[in-house]
Structure 1
Amino acid sequence: MEKLEALKRLFPGKVDLSESERLRHGKDEGYPEARPVLAVVYPEGVEDVQKALRWAREWGVAVIPFGAGTSLEGHLYPVREAISLDLSRMNRVLEVRPQDFSCVVEPGLTRKALNQALKGTGLFFPVDPGADASLGGMAATNASGTTTVRYGGMRQNVLALQVVLASGEVLELGRGVRKTSSGYDLKDLFIGSEGTLGVITRLTLRLHPLPEHVHTLRVFFPGVEEAAEASYRIMASGLPVARLELLDELAMRALNRYLKAGFPERPALFLEFHASTKEALEAERASALELVREAGALEVEAATTEEERRRQWEARHQAYWALVHLFPGHRFLITDTAVPLSRLPEMVRFAQGLLREMGLTGNILGHVGDGNFHTLIPVLLEDYPKAEAYAERLVEKALELGGTCTAEHGVGLRKRKFLPKEHGPALEWMRRLKALFDPEGLLNPGKVV
């Protein structure tokens, strides 16, 4: 094929045409369909990205940026002929500025690799979606995670971006400062754009001091409603909680089978507090214990060592794989929604009741300190449409309560249908922005809008 020969000449040693890699780059972790891309290209710098986009314009082939492949909503599925632009070779830490609490990195660097590189500086990058995702991909989906309740998600922790437009033009967006009022905020427009407006080729990130004192709790409840109510009370109290995670009894059972964790098999809140003094930490802990007991807590366990704390949060991050292990041969529908904090107990109650009403087994867990939770539903292939119907009703309820169809997974293909109801006339302006930045529709077409 002439276009592929031209691509290989343009990128000697940087193009993979194998069936396995083409298929791996045409699917993500949560979308049920997969389709091989035309080719996988591995750029090693911004000039390579520009060359790839020039080739794409010449041949009319779409381009899908690829980080670590951990997205969930069909972001990577090619709706038409496309190449995958795998940025994993652009994985350097370009600069660490401890005095400015910031660093400059390439998009293919993963969050774990960055924190490893920061060892000895007294600083860390806090955004933790669980998966060892690439930082460029995390910005592209506005990722968040367990620490967002205190430190914010990607939008709060990206100071500046370098992006390449479909035209090949390179833009520098934002500045390496804590705040600016200079001009329109194009940087935040690209965060969460899912590769539909441009390709991120460099990020300036905000870093945070490592906490001096950490206290971690596991609190067990008779039901998920009581756990959700406790989470709301903690947030309403103003306590500076650093992590606040809900896991239901199914998650705890799965973790006990998968990791031999030895947890009580009841709904739980996993909490963590970060403080600069032991006195402050003890005061926060005592207040939290009073609040959870008022909400009906049955049992409280404390992680007393760094190793135990690490095991607790590793268990939280392994919850999905524990469920996969508990339900072999099943597909999983994974969805996320978020509602205002005051409506969280109601939303959790609805989600649990809807599972019973529809005869589905499902797992409720998530970042409830942000009003955000996930529902994971294991189904056999023939029951997948029922799980999709459940997810649709869940989103409709979230929107009814003033929430959103996705708090952190992004829109991709799966959640496009909910955007008209959530955004109204603003959706048309999003489409106009897409057409302005990508008039030929080459960048991850079919996604978001």
Structure 2
Amino acid sequence: MKASLPLRSFSTPCRSQFRPGFYRRTPSSSPRRWNSTNSSSGAGPASDAASSTKAFWTTSRALVLAVAASSGAYAFASTRGSLSSTAQAKEAPRYGDIKQFEKAIAELRTDLGEDAISTDDDDLHDHGYSEWSSVNADRLPVAIAYPKTTEEVSKIAKVCHKYRMPMVPYSGGSSLEANFSAPYGGMTIDFAFMDRILEVHENDLDVVVQPSIQWMHLNKELENTGLFFPVDPGPSAKIGGMVGTNCSGTNAVRYGTMKDWVVNLTVVLADGQIIKTRRRPRKTSAGYNLTGMFVGSEGTLGIVTEITLKLAPSPEQMRVGIVTFPSIRDAASAAMQVTRRAVPVQSMEIMDDVQMNVINRAGGTGRVWKELPTLFFKFSGTKAQIEDSIRITKEIVKNNKSTSFEFAKNEQEGHVLWSARKESLWSMLSLRKEGSEVWSTDVAVPISRLPDIIEKSKEELDDLKIFASLLGHIGDGNFHTSIMYNRKDPDERARVETVVHNMVNRALEMEGSCTGEHGIGLGKKESLVSELGPDTINVMRNIKRALDPHWLMNPGKIFDYSTDSKPTSITDLESGRLAGAQKKD
């Protein structure tokens, strides 16, 4: 039953597919196990563009394109980019050829079992293309590996290292900047079978988990302990990806981001070596902070296989409140002042009038909302602490022209009030017409600049004259925009791109960040250079080269091999091959 990898000739080069359809895919509870002769239909894209992309990609085509790119792209890249002020760039890395990749797949099937490696066309598409992402790579992975243990991940890394095959880690698949795409093909490592809680230390307030456990499932399992894991991004997010992007969520204003809750990591390096970044105490001064280095590295430094997470005591009580304002600037000013007064809110979220209108039109929350800029609050703690927090917050919002202040009387009412925030994205998606899609992005700024950037961004969103809303975790200076547009209209897409880029550039001008929690991936590499500068990026490159000299770990993400070196498109490669053949003839 071993899948063959025939090489087919073709003359039409692959074309980059940007967000061809934004649909919701419910992940299956376990991966499909195929070889290339046993293909399942799987979950299909919801647009013609996505369907045509999928139809084009067969196992053999994916292999041919990936190998062409991986073996040739860096060979064409310039090596003039400086590593630092004193060091020169080394020769760009080269990846294996078709025969080497076939050997790697065959060797891993022998070591791990036939079902551990998939080359099914649907599987390659699902792992290489994302309906969520603002950009997608030109290529798909060559194969998908499904390890069950850290030791199996180490075997995969050793074989991929031996045959110079790129490796891309994959857990929830819900990232927004093509963080798990495979621009150089290679092996995607899916942790679907590594989704367990390994140890719970209630008295130490920590837990050891594998990368593919969902954070919501983790909290469900912890319900009887009186503890919970407070980082809460989108419901489909899994711990491995959350580590990779240093994500956060609605609780960040009180509990911080992912980096604040990771105690240690077990990591497989590019050559298969297994390391543990530190031991389990919450406090240590023992050497470099390797844990912090891997958090947010998006799998470019190593493959995380086990995570020790801090836990927090579940709050004694919780109250939810919503406040409306006449303008988005009034809401943002109130949020800034609540933060400045150090009111211990658990969550503070903002949604503009457009988003509230979308929620009403979608009708999924069971009530009608005022279509005004709205702040959503969660207060938690003892009864006395909550009452004090509410008193101060009422005073602040009143001074900022609030038009209404509503509090939940019980847990059920609290769930209803908070449902508007939780249903925000799905409400917009439910109103899509055929051919439309949603572009979601985020920035972060110093808290004092929130009113300025939100007001200006809101003006530009309104000027688009399409569904374009502003929402997000305003309590820590991080907010998002969601824009629904017609992908078949080049003028409309160009206007949307301008607004998004203006928002990012505006955040950088305010000493902010191009991303608060989505990561860099493929989509924001140029913005990262603008934010940090080439010297800082070169320090990151040197760290990566030290751990991954052959550039095998999730290559192409965050930054390229050198300042002057950018991946050559498959169109350029194919055109060059055909031109060379014609010249020879």
Q: TM-score w.r.t. structure 2 length?
A: 0.74
C-alpha RMSD of matched pairs (Å) = 1.5
1:33 pairs with 2:136: yes
2:111 to 2, 7, 10: 10
Aligned to 1:386: 495
Contact kept, 8 Å, 1:19 with 1:36, in 2: the verdict is: no
1:265 pairs with 2:371: yes
Distance 2:116 2:409 in 1: 48
- What fraction of aligned residue pairs are identical, expressed as a percent? 37
Contact kept, 8 Å, 1:255 with 1:261, in 2: the verdict is: no
1:23–1:314 CA distance, 2 compared to 1 (3 A): farther
Deviation per residue, 1:303-356 (Å, 9 max, x gap): 222223233334322211211112333122211100000000001011112224
1:286 pairs with 2:391: yes
Shift, 1:357, TM fit: 4.6
1:404 pairs with 2:513: yes
Q: How does 1:14-413 map to 2 (within 5 A)?
A: 14-28=116-130, 29-33=132-136, 35-258=139-362, 259=364, 260-276=366-382, 278-329=383-434, 330-357=436-463, 361-381=467-487, 382=490, 383-413=492-522
Q: TM-score w.r.t. structure 1 length?
A: 0.96
| 3-state DSSP of counterpart to 2:442 | strand
Q: Whose radius of gyration is greater, 1 or 2?
A: 2
The structure that is strand-richer by fraction is 1
Distance 2:551 2:418 in 1: 41
Shift, 1:358, TM fit: 5.1
1:346–1:14 CA distance, 2 compared to 1 (3 A): same
Segment drifting more, 195-204 vs 173-182: 173-182
Contact kept, 8 Å, 1:70 with 1:131, in 2: the verdict is: no
Structure 1 counterpart of 2:112, one-letter code: F
| 3-state DSSP of counterpart to 2:224 | coil
Shift, 1:57, TM fit: 1.6
Distance 1:273 1:359 in 2: 36
Distance 1:390 1:350 in 2: 10
Aligned to 1:445: 555
| 3-state DSSP of counterpart to 2:266 | strand
Shift, 1:6, TM fit: 3.2
Contact kept, 8 Å, 1:27 with 1:69, in 2: the verdict is: no
Deviation per residue, 1:99-148 (Å, 9 max, x gap): 11111111111101111110110000000012331111101110100001
Structure 1 counterpart of 2:552, one-letter code: L
| 3-state DSSP of counterpart to 1:91 | coil
| 3-state DSSP of counterpart to 2:480 | strand
Structure 2 counterpart of 1:7, one-letter code: L
Contact kept, 8 Å, 1:217 with 1:272, in 2: the verdict is: yes
| 3-state DSSP of counterpart to 2:454 | helix
Distance 2:516 2:356 in 1: 24
Deviation per residue, 1:162-189 (Å, 9 max, x gap): 1111011111113322222221111101
Aligned to 1:432: 542
Shift, 1:359, TM fit: 5.1
Distance 2:553 2:220 in 1: 32
| 3-state DSSP of counterpart to 2:459 | helix
Distance 1:411 1:397 in 2: 17
Deviation per residue, 1:397-426 (Å, 9 max, x gap): 101101000110000011100122211221
Contact kept, 8 Å, 1:333 with 1:388, in 2: the verdict is: no
| 3-state DSSP of counterpart to 1:174 | coil
| 3-state DSSP of counterpart to 1:53 | helix
Q: Structure 1 unaligned runs (5+)?
A: none
| 3-state DSSP of counterpart to 2:386 | helix
| 3-state DSSP of counterpart to 1:264 | coil
Contact kept, 8 Å, 1:335 with 1:374, in 2: the verdict is: yes
